Amino acid sequence: MTIDARPKPTLSRTAIVASMVLAFLCGAGIATQSRINGELGRQLNDGFAAAAISFGSGLVIVLIALAFSRSGRRGARQVASAVRTRRIPFWYVLGGGAGAFLVLTQGLVAGILGVALFTIGIVAGQTVSGLFIDRRGLGTMQPKPLTVQRLVGSVLALIAVGIAVSAQLSTAVPLWMLVLPFLAGTGTGWQQAVNGQVREIAESALTATLINFTVGTLVLVIALLIDSTVQGWPAHLPTAPWLYLGGAIGVFFIAAAAVLVPVIGVLLLGLGTIAGQLVTSLVIDQIAPAAGQTTAVTTVVGTGLTLVAVGIAAVPARKRRVRGKA
């Protein structure tokens, strides 16, 4: 089996709008998951345990779904065969590693930084990652030209992050807590791209989600075992049920992104996701802020400026008109 690299048919306006709404919901899910996993990590006093619980519970959900899905099981065999025969690079199936890093950063720092500030770092990373992937292309996704709009949007997004974190730089928050979300965001763009390729090979979003959660859970369990030798195990597990919903939310947005990225591409998926993250994160920080966390004016300004940045990056380049001969 080979990956079909032929151009995709042009989508209708309705299909694009529906896809962008779903992408927005994916972003809302990421922001909500950040709040949940951040609070779980705070209550456990162990971000590694919070991340392993989140990813592990997601894997359990996917395995249950796989038991009832013949196409999902067939897709897993197709992906295994494609990797074994080297029809695809082995690293296509490692997207879960980037997802594991994102969830780990949620458990380690989101509860301290707050969802809005954490999300702005993710957004900046996604912007840079999306620009790079669009420029290079990946698998069936053809390279896109590097336009002035995309460059300006990317630079503006980085400036927006600087404004957003300026209030935090004068506090006791370590610099690494501000860097981690950016790195996680760069990994998110790559994760979405490779998961989309796996979905096309498997012809099943469930298979792509299964591989993502299997790899991510393995990475996080190893990290937890190493961390536990130094820090020990959490003394207790929180009893609030909502703290264990991070895995279920992750299953939704990982599967949805795997379906969307081959259809609308990394750029549009990223823009829709970013919009959902920004709006939802600010709402969460207003109605359910993390303990001791307030929303600074610079965070709001940085969020607004980031929205402007991704809007600029989305503007298509104008085609030059060629004058006909008289």
CA–CA gap between residue 190 and residue 257 (Å, rounded): 12
- For residue 11, being part of any structural domain is answered with no
- Cα-flanking dihedrals φ and ψ of residue 131, to 5°? -60, -45
- For residue 4, being part of any structural domain is answered with no
- For residue 307, being part of any structural domain is answered with yes
- For residue 9, being part of any structural domain is answered with no
CA–CA gap between residue 108 and residue 106 (Å, rounded): 6
Which two structure tokens, joined as six digits, stand for 180? 């981690």
Domain of 40, in residue numbers: 16-231+242-314
Sequential pLDDT tens for the chain (326 residues): 445 545 555 667 777 778 888 989 998 998 899 889 989 998 998 989 999 999 999 999 999 999 999 999 999 999 999 999 998 899 999 999 998 998 888 888 877 777 777 877 887 888 788 778 877 878 777 777 777 877 787 788 778 777 876 766 655 667 778 788 889 989 988 998 899 899 999 999 999 999 999 999 999 999 999 999 988 888 889 999 999 999 999 999 999 988 888 777 777 787 788 788 878 888 888 887 766 667 778 878 877 887 787 777 766 655 544 444 44
- For residue 144, being part of any structural domain is answered with yes
- For residue 191, being part of any structural domain is answered with yes
DSSP calls for 25-64: HHHHHHHHHHHHHHHHHHHHT-HHHHHHHHHHHHHHHHHH
- For residue 321, being part of any structural domain is answered with no
Alpha carbon distances (Å) from 126 to 50, 94, 233, 290: 23, 18, 33, 24
Domain count, the chain: 1
- For residue 6, being part of any structural domain is answered with no
